Amino acid sequence: MEDEEKMELSHEPVPGYRTVFYIAMAVAVAYLGFIFIRCL
């Protein structure tokens, strides 16, 4: 069992994923902020 090589699952990163993630997070935070302001 110790003689076996460890298998590594890897993939190529998607080019625009990080940018889309940050935009989605910014929209979500802005929406939550809007909701909190409306409740005050």
Q: What is the pLDDT of residue 4?
A: 76
The single-letter code of the amino acid at 19 is: T
Q: The dihedral of CA 15, 17, 18, 19: what is its sign?
A: positive
What the block records as the tokens of 18 is 């990080």
Q: For every residue of 1-40, which 3-state class applies, written as one string?
A: CCCCCCCCCCCCCCCCHHHHHHHHHHHHHHHHHHHHHHHC
Q: How far is 20 from 27, CA to CA, in rounded Å?
A: 11
Predicted TM-score (pTM) of the model is: 0.62
> pLDDT tens digit string along 3-34?
678 888 888 888 899 999 999 999 999 999 99
**pLDDT over 80 at 35, yes or no:** yes
Q: What is the pLDDT of residue 30?
A: 99
